[in-house]
Structure 1
Amino acid sequence: MPTNRLARDAKLAGVPVAYAGRRMAGRGRRLLGRSAAEIDRDIRLRTAEHLFEVLGELKGCAAKLGQLGAVYRSILPFEAVGPDWTELAEVAGDALSRLQDSVPPMLPGLVHQVMAANFGDHWRELFLEFEECPAAAASLGQVHRAVWHDGRPVAVKVMYPGAREAVQADLRTLRGLSGVIGAVMPGADVRAIVDMVCTMVGDELDYRREARYQRTCAEVFAGDPEFVVPEVVECADEVLISDWLEGTGFGTLVTHGSARERSRAGLAILEFMESAKLRCGVLYTDVHPGNFLLLDDGRVGVVDFGACAPMPPSLRRIVSELGDALYNGTPGDFEAALRAHGFVRPGQEFDIDELVRIVSPFLDVLLQKDFRLTTDWMREQVTVITRIRLSNVFRDMTLPPELTTLARAAVTALGVLCQLGTEGIRDQFLDGWPELAEVVDRYEARRDLADTAT
C-alpha cells in the first residue's frame, strides 16, 4: 500500500476528476449517436470500479471510511443535495458496499515477508497447511485460512506492510476526497468524521492489544450457548492467529434474509454488545455485518476485536443523568446535564430546543416494545440532522474523549440494526442499562398517572 502522502493524495484526488472527465466525454458520445442510458451505465460502472480500486489499494483509513459510508449508504437523504450529487452518491455507494466485504488483497510475496518478519524465516514450520489465497481482505489486513502445527484450523490475520505509515498520512489525505465523502454523507462534518475514523483505525493497528481483548472475551464466552469467540493461538506485532470459525456472515442476511431472520440477527448483535459490556467490561465498537457469523449449530460467532475499549467508569452515570433529563426533565435540565458532563463548553451559546427536537424521535425506541428500526425511519432522522441550518447544534457540542469509543459503537450499531430492520430492542437494551430502565419506568409511571387524571 502506498504510504507517501503525496502519492495517496494524488490517487484520491483522481476519483472526482476522472468522474467529471467521463461526464464530459459522455456528452460527446451522445452526439455520436449512443443512447444516454447506455452512456450513463458505462460511466457508473467505470467510476464505481475506479473508486473501489483506489480505496482498496490505499486501504487504511480510506477503506475504513468507505466501509462506514456503506453502512449508512441506504439511509442518507441523497435527494437533498441535488441530482448531480445524487448520481455520484449512488456510484460511490456501489463501490463502498463492495468494501464492506473485501478490498483487493496483497500478493503472496508480501504475505511471506510479513510472516518472516514476525516469526522468522522458517515460519511455515508452524503450520501443517497455509492457504496462499486470502479468505478475506479488509482495510488494515487480510485473513488466511491455515492449519496450525497441532492440527487445529486457524485464521491468520496479517497486517498490510506500511499500514501504520499510511494511517499517519491519511488524516490530511482523506480531506482531499471531501467531494466524494460529501456525496455519500451529505451535510456531514467531513473533517470531524475523518478525524474520528483515523483515531479508530490507529487503535486497530495494535494487534497485541486486540489479542488481549479477544482472549478476555473468549475466556468469558467459553461454552456459551449463544455466542462463540475464537481463542487466540499466537500473536506478534503484525500477525494475529486465532481459531477458525466457519459460518455465514451477517452481510448475507442484510441482502438475502427474511425480515424475521434479519431482525433476529440484529437482536443477536445487540445482545452480544450488551453481554460483552456486562460480563467482560468491554465495549465492542466495530459493529460490522462481516464480523458476525451464523454458525451451523445456530450460535453466533464474533470476530475482530481490534476496536474494543474498556467500559468508561463514568459511563453509566452519564447515561442515567442525560436520560433522566430527556425523559423526565425540561430542556433546561437537559442542557445543564450536557454542560455538567462536558458536551457543551462553558460560555458556549447553545440551542437546546433544537437539540431536543432532533433527539425526541429516538426516545420512542425505548418506549415502544415492538419498535422497528428501519432505513426509512433512520433516513427521516438523518434528513433532520443534516439539513442546513443557521444554527448547527452539533458543531456547538464537544465529545468527551473517554466517550469516543462509545460514540463509534452507537453510530455503527445503529446503522447496522437499521439495515437489518431490527424489531423490539427495548427490553434487551434496558436489561443492559438498568439505570436507564429506571428512568424509563419513571417516565411511564408519570405518563400513566397523567392519563388516569384526564
Structure 2
Amino acid sequence: MSDIPRRTASRTAKLAGLPLGVAGRAAAGWGRRLTGGDRDEISTQLAAKSAEQLFAVLGELKGGAMKFGQALSVFEAAIPDEYAEPYREALTKLQTAAPPMPADDVHYMLSEQFGRSWRTRFREFDDTPAASASIGQVHRAVWRDGREVAVKVQYPGAEEALRSDLRQLGRMSRLLQPLAPGLELKPLITELRERMEEELDYRDEAAYQREFAAIYDGDPNVKVPAVVASAPKAMVSEWVTGRKLASVIREGTRAERDHAGAHLARFHYSAPARAHLLHSDPHPGNFQILDDGRLLVLDFGAVARLPEGMPSTLVTMTKYALQGRPAELMQVMRDAGFVLPGTQLDPDEAMAYLAPFTEPLHTTEFHFSRRWIQRQAERVGDLRNPEAATGRNLNLPPQYLLVHRVSMGTLGILCQLDATVPLREIVAEWQPELFESDGRTG
C-alpha cells in the first residue's frame, strides 16, 4: 500500500495557500510600484506567476479543485485579453493534464475493483496514464478479446479529497473571484459539489455513457465510446481518440474551428430532445474531432436527466425574448421565480439580459468570438451599466442552474473556437417551438 493517507492530508494546506501566495505577490508588487517599477509590467508578472501557481496547486490536488479549474476554463473567453492571457494556458492545461497517480496506486485500485486477478481481463495494460481527469486518470490497454480500451481509474481517497477541496474553495470564493468577473462563484461551487457527489460511482457514469452511445450509434456527427465493463471506482470503454478540441482552438484553421463549433452545438441542442439527457461537463478536454470529422464526446460523469427535454420554461423565456415580447417574458419569469416578489425590473432590461441566448438566433449564421462574449460580461459586470443592476435583481431557481451553466459553458467554448455557426438552423431542428409563432418571429 502506498502513502495515500499522508498525501491526502496535505491537500487542504496546499489549497489554502493558493490565495495567500497570490496576495503575497500582490503586496510585493505594490512595494515595487512605490519604488518606481512599471505598473503594467509588474501586473503582467504577477498575473503570470499567479497563473503558474493556480495550475500547480489545482492540478496537483485534482478532485474538486481541478474540477473547479475546468469549470472556470470555459469562461476564460469572457475575461478581457489583457487579464486572461496568463491564465488561459494554465486553465487549458487543467482540461486534460495533471500529475499522474503512481502505478502502485493504479494496481491497488484495479485489484480492489476487479479482484486480484484483474490482469487476466487484459492482454496488455500500459501503466503510463494517457490522460488525467478531475477524480481519476485514464490508461490505455488491450481487453482480453483484443479490443483496444480506455481504463478510467479513480484516485485513491478521491471522495474525501473532493469534499475537502470544495469546502475550502467555498471559503476562498471571494479571493478567487477575479479569475471570473461577472460569474457568481459560490453557486457554481455549490452546484459542482452536488454534481461531483454523483460522479464518484463510475457505475452511474457507465450507465449514462451506455445511454448516450445507444442514442448516437451511427450518428454522422457524434461518436460516444461503447462501455466494456464498470465497477464503482473503475471503468473500461472502447479506445477512441482524435484531435483534442484545445488543439483546434489553439491552431485550427477557420474551416476546422467552424466545423467543430457546429458539431458541438448540434450535440448540445440535440441531446435533451433525443436522449432526454444533458452532458453537463462542457470543457474542451471532453471533446475531440475524429479523422472522419465526427465529434468525440468523453466523460459522462456529470449528466442531467431531462425527462421532458429542455425545460419548457426556459424555452418559453427564450422564445418571448427572441420575438420581442417583454410583457409576456416578464410574466413567465415571475411565475417561474426568476423575478422575486417585490422586485422591480424593467421588462426591456430583462430582454437585454437574455441577449447571449437570443442574439445568435437572429441571423442565419453567427460569429462567436471572445470579443462578443467579453461585451456580454462587461455589460452584466459593469456596475455603471443599468443591465448590471438587472443581473443583481434576477434570481436563478436551483432547478435551472445546471442547464444555465452548461449552456453558458457551451457558448464559452464556441467563443474560444472563434467559430461561425448556423445556430438558428441547429436550434430550429431540436427546439422548433422557439420559431413557431403568431406571425412574430423576431
TM-score under structure 2 length normalisation = 0.88
* Distance in structure 2 (CA, Å) of the matches to 1:331 and 1:6: 54
> In the alignment, which residue of structure 1 is the partner of 2:217?
222
Contact preservation (8 Å) 2:244, 2:285: yes
> In the alignment, which residue of structure 2 is the partner of 1:14?
17
Residue among 46, 49, 71 paired with 1:68: 71
* Distance in structure 1 (CA, Å) of the matches to 2:393 and 2:31: 47
Residue among 397, 401, 423 paired with 1:404: 401
Residue among 242, 245, 252 paired with 2:247: 252
> In the alignment, which residue of structure 2 is the partner of 1:51?
54
Deviations 1:166-196 (A, max 9, x none): 2322333003433552121124322122212
RMSD over equivalenced CA pairs, Å: 3.2
* Distance in structure 2 (CA, Å) of the matches to 1:153 and 1:163: 27
Deviations 1:316-372 (A, max 9, x none): 531342234324464332221012223233444445443223224642311111221
Deviations 1:376-428 (A, max 9, x none): 11100011111226874444443334333312320211111111122221111
Contact preservation (8 Å) 2:77, 2:415: no
Residue among 231, 234, 257 paired with 2:226: 231
Contact preservation (8 Å) 1:325, 1:337: no
Equivalent position amino acid for 1:222 in 2: D
**3-state SS in 2 of match to 1:144:** strand
Residues 98-137 of structure 1: matches in 2 within 5 Å? Answer: 98-137=93-132
Equivalent position amino acid for 2:106 in 1: V
Note the C-alpha offset of 1:276.
2.6
Range 391-400 or range 276-285, more displaced = 391-400
2:314 maps to 1:319:
yes
After superposition, the Cα gap between the structure-2 partners of 1:2 and 1:267, relative to the gap in structure 1 and judged at 3 Å, is farther
**3-state SS in 2 of match to 1:100:** coil
**3-state SS in 2 of match to 1:169:** helix
TM-score under structure 1 length normalisation = 0.86
After superposition, the Cα gap between the structure-2 partners of 1:417 and 1:29, relative to the gap in structure 1 and judged at 3 Å, is closer
* Distance in structure 2 (CA, Å) of the matches to 1:13 and 1:363: 40
Gaps of 5+ in 1: 80-85, 448-454
Equivalent position amino acid for 1:58 in 2: L
Deviations 1:142-173 (A, max 9, x none): 11001111110000011112222223223330
* Distance in structure 2 (CA, Å) of the matches to 1:36 and 1:344: 43
Residue among 310, 320, 338 paired with 1:343: 338
After superposition, the Cα gap between the structure-2 partners of 1:394 and 1:312, relative to the gap in structure 1 and judged at 3 Å, is farther
Residues 8-407 of structure 1: matches in 2 within 5 Å? Answer: 8-22=11-25, 46-77=49-80, 86=83, 90-178=85-173, 181-313=176-308, 315-328=310-323, 330-360=325-355, 362-388=357-383, 392-407=389-404
* Distance in structure 1 (CA, Å) of the matches to 2:70 and 2:161: 17
**3-state SS in 1 of match to 2:214:** helix
**3-state SS in 2 of match to 1:101:** coil
After superposition, the Cα gap between the structure-2 partners of 1:312 and 1:350, relative to the gap in structure 1 and judged at 3 Å, is farther
Equivalent position amino acid for 1:437 in 2: F
After superposition, the Cα gap between the structure-2 partners of 1:336 and 1:24, relative to the gap in structure 1 and judged at 3 Å, is closer
> In the alignment, which residue of structure 2 is the partner of 1:451?
none
* Distance in structure 2 (CA, Å) of the matches to 1:309 and 1:104: 29
Contact preservation (8 Å) 2:269, 2:430: yes
**3-state SS in 2 of match to 1:135:** strand
After superposition, the Cα gap between the structure-2 partners of 1:342 and 1:246, relative to the gap in structure 1 and judged at 3 Å, is same
Contact preservation (8 Å) 2:92, 2:246: no
Deviations 1:93-114 (A, max 9, x none): 4322211221222111111111
Note the C-alpha offset of 1:218.
1.3
Contact preservation (8 Å) 1:312, 1:403: no
After superposition, the Cα gap between the structure-2 partners of 1:316 and 1:139, relative to the gap in structure 1 and judged at 3 Å, is closer
Contact preservation (8 Å) 1:152, 1:243: yes
Note the C-alpha offset of 1:4.
10
Contact preservation (8 Å) 2:16, 2:168: no
Aligned pairs, how many?
Answer: 436
After superposition, the Cα gap between the structure-2 partners of 1:189 and 1:205, relative to the gap in structure 1 and judged at 3 Å, is same
Gaps of 5+ in 2: none
